[in-house]
Structure 1
């Protein structure tokens, strides 16, 4: 199969998945706020709402311009990342959302994928940001957005989460 043929389908599937997940995230956010959750890191939140749609657009455009065949290994890795993504979301349950919300009385998870990684969701997203574009011959998109995502995570998001958790532990 030609990469340019798969690119619109893959981008569309990712967009639908993300929109459905946003509905879950919003419901979970309301649930958390109803329980007195305090939000941290609001200032950087819009950066992710620019990054992800821009990534999908670049994936579509560069993928549609690709002349090669689908990279089956990259596609397989992307597909295998999806159960990992669901494992993270299911493990977090009502606590999963797209914001940094700390609920009084809540505890840091140590089961599921959190047994192995402190931030498994970010590892899955990093894998997706690289493999989906590589599957459709969009190497520049894979590189550029992997670097941008890593910078946002390592320099801003993860430190903000760690500060929020530390502040919560100090209050308890």
Structure 2
């Protein structure tokens, strides 16, 4: 039997991710029009597939789960951090590695951390399944995401090093 809380939680995650894809696509197009360029495009499809499979696992295995309120509170806090990160990057936020020959963003959480968005995603990949009691999903996708981030952060770091040297 479908749990209302689980359905609302899952609906939120799906709508959030879909809306972020729309925003990312718009921001990417604007950045490219300003002369930016993409690096690491070859891993993007794998990343999308991993995140899509993570969401599918949440839906398939979590729709009947009662919500773990403590984990839900942590998830809500993460969403506050997500808004802070996205608003700090503004039109420069995208799901791809887009390099713009301008100074890097150094406001908001970027003043303190190199990769706050990746840290947030690591936390979400753990916390969202825990809200639904899906420990195995949290473990499996944490490992998969670690491999993905190893590739992605390496690509991004290499591309941004010349900009940091300025």
Q: Same fold (TM over 0.5)?
A: yes
Corresponding residue number in structure 2 for 1:80: 77
Normalised by the length of structure 1, the TM-score is 0.89
Structure 1: gaps spanning 5 or more residues = none
Kindly state the Cα deviation for residue 6 of structure 1 after the two structures are TM-superposed: 2.9
Distance in 1 separating the partners of 2:67 and 2:10:
14
Query: How does 1:46-85 map onto structure 2 within 5 Å?
Result: 46-64=45-63, 66=65, 69-85=66-82
Normalised by the length of structure 2, the TM-score is 0.92
Kindly state the Cα deviation for residue 41 of structure 1 after the two structures are TM-superposed: 0.5
* Partner SS state of residue 118, structure 1: coil
Distance in 2 separating the partners of 1:73 and 1:128:
14
Corresponding residue number in structure 2 for 1:114: 110
* Partner SS state of residue 63, structure 2: helix
Corresponding residue number in structure 1 for 2:6: 7
* Partner SS state of residue 107, structure 1: coil
Count of matched residue positions in the alignment of Structure 1 and Structure 2: 166
Distance in 2 separating the partners of 1:4 and 1:148:
28
Q: Is this contact kept in 2: 1:29–1:97, CA < 8 A?
A: yes
Kindly state the Cα deviation for residue 27 of structure 1 after the two structures are TM-superposed: 1.1
Corresponding residue number in structure 1 for 2:133: 137
RMSD: 1.9
Corresponding residue number in structure 1 for 2:100: 103
Q: Is this contact kept in 1: 2:104–2:163, CA < 8 A?
A: no
Corresponding residue number in structure 2 for 1:16: 15
Does the C-alpha gap of structure 1 residues 62 and 26 become closer, same or farther in structure 2, counting only changes over 3 Å? same
Distance in 1 separating the partners of 2:94 and 2:76:
22
Distance in 1 separating the partners of 2:6 and 2:73:
15
Structure 2: gaps spanning 5 or more residues = none
Q: List structure 1 segments (4+ residues) > 2 angstroms apart after TM superposition.
A: 2-9, 167-170
